[in-house]
Amino acid sequence: MLLGCHVSMSGSAMLLGAAQEAVSYGANTLMIFTGAPQNTRRKPISQMKITAGHQFLKQHNINRIMGHAPYIINLGNTKSLEKYQFAINFLHAEIERCDALGIEAFSLHPGAHVGLGVDSALKAIAAGLDEVLAHTPKVLIALETMAGKGTEVGINFEQLAKIIDLTPHNDNLAITLDTCHLNDAGYDVKNNFDEVLNEFDRIIGLKRLAMIHLNDSQNIRGSHKDRHANIGFGTIGFTALNYICHHPQLVNIPKILETPYVTLQKNSKKAVAPYAAEINTLLTQKFNPNLMNQLSLL
């Protein structure tokens, strides 16, 4: 089973630091941003400690690295053609960084139509992606399933399939399934994940599944809000998420935790990562209902 988490590549240690953090949690895969998630400023590839990072990962038998695009990239917005072209150019450069870092799949929020309509956004996203994919990168661009807040698109399998169909160079176009987003979009992840997976296979195809973001949700099914919760402490629940984590059809698919840090009771300005505890819980399949409270007391 491939189970890891989202770790930081900030500071001077860059990929080496991210690798060390992931290993400290007991992860055997990981996901990184190439820089800050809320902006497009990026360090030169030469400063990313790539060789040292890969040496450390090899020592710990980790060879699957996932990536994530910054949240501010919106290929669905063509109100400003200058900003739209900037997003395409940035994505092209980001794929080059991912290739240098050894990232195999790069999760991308498809975008939002910002009032222009869903069909307009789907066509714009496909056209932008095609500009990048025409260069046949080694890295997969994995469109992420979205919760549907605001004017987001990619909120159902049909919309994602349409983007793929509208993209001529789509061989390296893949999908990220986010369990929180699926739940909030209306899919019955909690009670009938097999049917959700079968529907995905019918409409898009399991061969395009690159990774799973394994998150609980703070919201009821169909709320369209996108608020992640810790594993077993949300509306999806531990039983369903544990089932997904150990699903026989998903053995070779990296599962990435993006769950919230836990605020310390003694100091509300500090928080601790829950990943080591959550990874252990999923590996042992033993849920502790007091786990987050115990972490908050550290």
* Residues in binding site: 68, 109, 144, 178, 181, 213, 226, 228, 258
Distances in Å between the Cα of 194 and the Cα atoms of 45, 158, 178, 201 are 41, 18, 15, 10
Q: Which residues are annotated as a binding site for Zn(2+)?
A: 68, 109, 144, 178, 181, 213, 226, 228, 258
What are the angstrom distances between the C-alpha of 115 and each of 76, 78, 80, 153, 155? 10, 10, 13, 11, 16
Distance of CA 225 to the CA centre of its chain: 17
DSSP 203: H
**What's the token pair of residue 158?**
């049909």
Structure tokens at 163: 């983007």
Q: How far is CA 147 from the centre of its chain?
A: 13
Euclidean distance between CA atoms 297 and 267, whole angstroms: 10
What Rg value do the Cα atoms of the chain yield, rounded? 18
CA distance 250 to 263: 32
Token pair of 132 as six digits: 């990048």
Other CB atoms within 10 Å distance of the CB of residue 218: 18
Block residue for tokens 């959700």? 196
Structure tokens at 4: 């890891």
Give the DSSP letter of residue 152. B
